[in-house]
């Protein structure tokens, strides 16, 4: 009988994973984490992840919960789970929650960051973390175009064909396009919203890049929002440039303090 729940913050390099969600005969983050949990408590239930990141997508702040009858402080869960996890997955923190807590249903806001490298030649140190764009881009034009994303809109044009959900309205609270001061080649596109459709962030980023390259005209985002047709939006940006940075979720009453603080 599982007596309590544990909420984890998980980071991973998605390069060698087929995404978060368990799939047959392929390596996933969820299955790797489940294996580490069951090694400590074979009767544990979970993990229940908050965001089903795609193959190749990274995370710094994924949330996942599981139920267990094993009594252990948060520090113990962090240290013990990390001993069983592969090098490309790490539990960053743990805290006690009630049984059956599911962060997917309490998520309020998610923050994604996309990393672009403007370089004419490949950089092997960034090959799995940033999308190299060798074409000239007007970044001021990208900044202007990004403003159209903010707000509550029907994002039907910014989802892949695999997403068959009937409700496609989402609220994007902020979009920031900025250069990394320590390396002028690197630009980030940070998008915060209440939830996202399948491939939505990657299609938004691809559209912004196509506008900055003058492949699409300014106003392409607004036009796609109005038309609600995938064909009028831009390309889908590669998965390896995307990182799930943070999830704001409503914690249940009685949730314990996290370790590390």
What are the catalytic residues?
54
The span from the CA of 244 to the CA of 92, in Å, is: 14
What gap in Å lies between CA 94 and CA 113, rounded to an integer?
23
**Rg, Å, the chain Cα set:** 19
103/244 Cα distance (integer angstroms) = 15
Q: What token pair was written down for 45?
A: 């239930």
Q: Work out the burial of residue 12: count CB atoms within 10 Å of its CB; fewer than 13 is exposed, 13-18 middle, 19 or more buried.
A: buried
Residue with tokens 């080649």, as numbered in its chain: 185
Tokens matching residue 232: 């009028």
Q: How many CA atoms lie within 13 A of 231 on its CB side?
A: 0
Q: Which of 103, 101, 108 is nearest to 254 (CA)?
A: 101
Three-class secondary structure of residue 22 per DSSP = coil
Q: Cα 177–55–90 angle (5° rounding)? A: 85
Q: Tokens standing for 238?
A: 């590669």
User: What residue has token string 């190299």?
Assistant: 132
DSSP 20: S
Interatomic CA distance for residues 57 and 241, integer angstroms: 7
């Amino acid at each position: 009988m599982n007596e309590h729940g544990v909420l984890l913050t998980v980071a991973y390099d998605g390069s060698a994973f087929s995404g978060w969600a368990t799939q047959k005969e392929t390596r996933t983050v969820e299955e790797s984490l489940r294996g580490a949990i069951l090694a400590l408590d074979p009767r544990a239930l979970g993990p229940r992840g908050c965001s089903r990141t795609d193959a190749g997508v990274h995370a710094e702040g994924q949330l996942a919960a599981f139920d267990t009858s094993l009594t252990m402080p948060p520090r113990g869960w962090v240290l013990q789970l990390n001993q069983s996890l592969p090098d490309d997955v790490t539990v960053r923190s743990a805290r006690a929650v009630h049984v059956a807590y599911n962060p997917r249903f309490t998520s309020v806001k998610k923050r994604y960051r996309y990393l672009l490298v403007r370089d004419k030649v490949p950089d092997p140190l960034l090959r799995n973390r940033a999308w190299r764009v060798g074409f000239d881009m007007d970044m001021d034009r990208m900044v202007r175009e990004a403003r159209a994303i903010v707000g509550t809109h029907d994002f039907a044009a910014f989802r892949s064909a695999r997403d068959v959900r009937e409700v496609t309205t989402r609220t994007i609270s902020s979009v920031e396009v900025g250069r990394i001061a320590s390396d002028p080649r690197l630009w980030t596109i940070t998008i915060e919203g209440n939830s996202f459709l399948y491939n939505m962030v990657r299609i938004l980023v691809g559209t912004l890049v196509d506008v900055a390259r003058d492949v699409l005209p300014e106003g392409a985002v607004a036009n796609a929002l109005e038309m609600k047709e995938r064909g009028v939006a831009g390309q889908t940006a590669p998965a390896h440039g995307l990182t799930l940075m943070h999830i704001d979720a409503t914690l249940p009453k009685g949730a314990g303090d996290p370790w590390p603080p």
